Structures are given as structure tokens and as C-alpha cells.
Amino acid sequence: MAFFGAMQRLAEQLQQQGHQVYYYKLQDPANKQDFELQIQELIEQEGFTEVAYLYPDEYRLDEKLKAMADRLPVPVRAQDTEHFITGRYEVQHFFRNKKTYFLESFYRDMRKRYQVLMTGDGRPVGDKWNFDVQNRQKYDGAVPIPERLHFHHDLSDVYEAIQDAGVETMGRVADPSDFRMPLDREEAMQHFDHFLENALPAFGTYQDSLVQGEGKLFHALISFTMNSKIIDPLEVVQRAEAYWQAHQDEIDIAQIEGFIRQILGWREFVRGIYWAQMPEYETFNYFNHQRPLPDFYWTGDTHMNCLSEAINNSLDNAYAHHIQRLMVTGNFALIAGIHPDEVDHWYLGVYMDAIQWAEITNTRGMSQYADGGKLATKPYASSASYIQKMSNHCEHCYYDPKKKVGERACPFNSIFWHFMEQNRDKLQNNYRM
């Protein structure tokens, strides 16, 4: 819904600026539901002499467009997109001849290349590259969780078009006439500035926290606007750095470094791994997991409180923050031995920001370790202890996080130890385990 809403808005704005735009809505009878046929028809009708397109962000579509280029009767030109900081194959090049990818070396290189959080004489600001040890605290209520900026968009027509077209959907839409996320550049900038003023000062500190009833905490909520190319990642990084520079008395270096690492580092890094590893990446299943995803992933209906919170947040808001994705839903799927295809499909369907380059690397790679450690140095598998340490979910749960067996023992415990036992051979030589 969000992507359609943003596309529609862009088409309207371009038309208002006097551009000639052909925008085919989903239900438009002139919509041929096929890129190639549509473009062929336009060439014939309008007499266009060249086709140019921006590199798409998905391997399948990339292959389709390349094949189309060979068949069209006019020259076709493809152009890299400015909506990533690095080129598609820069990560591949950076790690050539290496078996695994290592974020830290790539991230430091990016800091130097783009002169982000650097002193004039080549040192990192604060004399450290990484302030993680100061971050990652459990939320203690010391800083109030800020209200977020909301917009009001009526996307009823988009919602109805999706229903009428019979598109298979998941999640819950409370009111399509009140869609609250930004849909154009001006709104996205306002939304981001609101984050800088209100949430950045505690972003890093509580980056890994989980809090009952709080699905957003201090996160930026900008993955959708960046992934849909409404705003530009380098602009986001530079604007955040400039804001921090002007407010250094209120925001410590650990907060801004933690935030910038997510975008200048992680986002570019996983996107580069995607293009380096596709299409093989889609087939990895290191632990040979075969189980289907439990039904409660589609309903949120489970006594396991942490899962219920993360899944209901996902189904209601098409959003969950990173730790809900990684250490709750992802962790459970990993230790329960769910087939990575099933896990991928769920993550690709449920989130507003889901696009395969980010989804599959994070899901199959970081979360399910199905690539055998190309992206992550160890599996993000844990018993109840992590969730108890980083959240207050266990205080509200039917299960007892301390119990491993017996009545009301937390299922995370026995399932975790079963996972470890089953995969002893594959894990025992991992230096981080």
C-alpha cells in the first residue's frame, strides 16, 4: 500500500511540474501487467527512439529488464541509481578473494572515503571508530519515549485496488483512509528532522532494547522512505552529522556514530552482499532446516509474550524494529528449525520496507545463518536470557524465563538447547560461540 501510495504521489508531483508521465494504476484497463508489453506498446504509439531505466533493486527484475533490452526494437540504456552511496558491485570488489564479509573494515573505509565523522587529520571523531560498548542498554525509563510525527493520507483507493486485483496480502490495515507515514520528499524530510530532534539523542543507548507496548522506541523509521527512494542515504547521513555538530552539547558521539553506522555501514554492506551473492543466496540452507513457520506468525496468537508483541507490531504497523526482527521472530525461527524459504516469504510480505536486497541478506544471512557465516560471524541464536536481559517482556509473560523444563518453562530455553545440540558439529569450531 505504502509503495503504491508513494508512486502515485510522485507521478502527480511530476505531472504538476509539467513532466510527461505515463503512470498505469493497478486496475487501469490500459495496464498490460507486464513491463515489456507496456514499453513495446509505448514505443509503437509514441514513436520513442530510446529506452533508459535505472538499475532495479531486485535480481529477478534486473534479469527481466536485461532480457527485455535484447528484444526491444530501440536502444536501451541502464543507469546506476543515486539512491545508494556505493555502486552495486563495490562491496564485492572490496572483499574480493575473501571468504566472508566483515562490516567493520568496510565501514571504516566508507567513513574515510566520504569524510563522515572524521577529523581533518584522518582520525575518527572521538578517537574511536565504534562506540557500541556505550550503547545497547536495557530501557530504564530515564528518557521518555518520544511521540512520532504522523501524516494523514487517504489511501482507500489504493487499498481497494489491491483487494480488487486479488493480490494476496498479509497484515492488518486498521483504516486505509488514515495512512500515517510520509509519502513524498517534503514529508520525509520533516519526519527525519523530527527524529533528529526527538529520538537521536537516545538512539544508540536504547538501540537494542525491547519494551512492552512500544514498537518504535528511538528508531528512525526511515527504511521505507529510503528504500522507496523518496530520500537519499548520503543526504540522511550528512544531515544527521550536521545536526549532531550543531548539538554536541546535547547529543554524545555514541548516539550519532551508532546511527550513521546503520546507514553508511550496514545498509550499503548488505546491499553489496546481495549483488555479490545472488542468485545462489536464495538457495542457502546451512542447517538444512525444513519445518514450516508456525501459524501464530500470521495471527500473533501465542502465549509467548515477546513473540506476540513483535508479531502484532509487524502485522498492525508493517514495521518492527531491528531487535524485534532479529532477536525475537528471527531468533525463534532459527532455533525452531524453520525452512529459510518460509522465513524469507514472511519477512518479505510483512514489512513496509521489505525489498529483497535488504530482506534476504538480513533474514537468510544475518538472522538464519543459512549462508553458513558469510555475513554474520555467529548465529543470532539465544535462549530466554537475552530477551529477559534486554526487555521487560518476561515480566508480562505466561512463561517463566528461568525455567528450562516443566510446567510454564519458557519454550525459548529448551528449543535453544535443542538447536545447539543438533548443530554441535557445525558450531563447535566457531570462535565466537
Residues forming contacts to ligand SF4 in the complex (CB under 6 A) are: 304-306, 384, 387-388, 393-394, 397, 399, 401, 410, 412
- Per partner kind, with CB cut-offs from 5 to 8 A, the member of ligand SF4, ligand FAD, none near residue 304 is ligand SF4
Asked if 354 is part of the footprint of ligand FAD (rule: CB under 6 A), the reply reads yes
Q: Give yes or no for a contact between 224 and 2, defined as CB atoms under 8 angstroms apart.
A: yes
Residue 78: beta bridge partners?
A: 53
Give the H or E element holding residue 79: strand 76-79
Query: Does 325 engage in binding with ligand FAD (CB under 6 A)?
Result: yes
Which string of x and - marks every residue 1-40 that binds ligand FAD (by CB under 6 A)?
----------------------------------------
307 counts as binding ligand FAD under rule CB under 6 A? no
**Per-residue cell: 220:** 528512525
Residue closer to ligand FAD by CB (options 130, 262) is 262
Please count the residues of this chain forming the interface with ligand FAD, following the rule CB under 6 A: 28
* Residues facing residue 124 across a β-bridge: 118
Per-residue x/- track, 367-386, ligand FAD (CB under 6 A):
x-------------------
CB of 326 to ligand FAD, least distance (A): 4
403 is in the binding site of which of ligand SF4, ligand FAD, none (Cβ under 5 to 8 A by kind)? none
Question: Which one of ligand SF4, ligand FAD, none is in contact with 394 (Cβ closer than 5 to 8 A by kind)?
Answer: ligand SF4
Least distance in Å: CB of 362 to ligand FAD?
4
Name residue, grid cell 514472511.
Answer: 346
Residue closer to ligand FAD (CB basis): 40 or 255: 255
- Computed over its alpha carbons, how large is the radius of gyration of the chain? 23
Give the 3-state secondary structure percentages of the chain, helix then strand then coil, rounded to 5: 50, 5, 45
Closest to ligand FAD by CB, 40 vs 277, is: 277
- Work out the angle between the directed axes of helices 253-260 and 233-246 (0-180°, nearest 10): 180
**Binding range to ligand FAD, per CB under 6 A, among 54-62, 65-73, 299-307, 358-366:** 358-366
Mapped onto helix, strand or coil, the DSSP state of residue 118 is strand
Pick one of 91, 145, 221, 376: the residue that binds ligand FAD (CB under 6 A): 221
Closer by beta carbon to ligand FAD, 10 or else 338 = 338
For residue 18, is it left (φ>0), alpha (ψ between -120 and 50) or beta? Answer: left
Partner in contact with 381, chosen from ligand FAD, ligand SF4, none, beta carbon below 5 to 8 Å by kind: none
Q: Which residue has the cell 501465542?
A: 302
Q: What is the DSSP string of 374-427?
A: SS-SS-----HHHHHHHBSSGGG-SSBTT-SSSTTB-HHHHHHHHHHHHTHHHH
Contact partner, 393, from ligand FAD, ligand SF4, none, Cβ < 5-8 Å per class = ligand SF4
Distance between CA atoms of residues 375 and 269, nearest Å: 9
Shortest Cβ 409–ligand SF4 spacing (Å): 9
Q: Which of 192, 351, 369, 412 binds ligand FAD (CB under 6 A)?
A: 351
Residue from 425, 431, 386, 338 nearest 138 by CA: 386
> CB of residue 226 vs ligand FAD: minimum separation in angstroms?
5
Cβ atoms of 197 and 208 within 8 Å: the answer is no
Q: Does 223 bind ligand FAD (CB under 6 A)?
A: yes
CB nearer ligand FAD, residue 39 or residue 338: 338
Grid coordinates standing for 326?
Answer: 532479529
Q: Residue 51 or 335: which CB sits closer to ligand FAD?
A: 335
The C-alpha atoms of residue 255 and residue 86 are separated, in whole angstroms, by: 24
Q: Which amino acid is at 236?
A: V
Q: Could you say which residues in the range 228-267 bind ligand FAD, by CB under 6 A?
A: 262-263, 266-267
Instruction: Provide DSSP, 55-67.
Output: PPSSHHHHHHHHH
Our CB check for ligand SF4 shows the closer of 231 and 394 to be 394
Site for ligand FAD contains 347 (CB under 6 A):
yes
Place of cell 508521465: 21
Give me the amino acid identity at 417: W
Which stretches of 94-182 are assigned E, i.e. beta strand? Answer: none
Q: Which among 200, 241, 254, 245 has a CA at the least distance from the CA of 222?
A: 200
241 contacts 253 by C-beta, under 8 angstroms: no
Between 274 and 416, CB nearer to ligand FAD: 274
Q: Mask: binding to ligand FAD, 177-206, rule CB under 6 A, as x and -?
A: ------------------------------
Which positions lie near ligand FAD, rule CB under 6 A?
219-223, 226-227, 262-263, 266-267, 270, 321-322, 325-326, 330, 347, 351, 353-355, 358-359, 362-363, 366-367
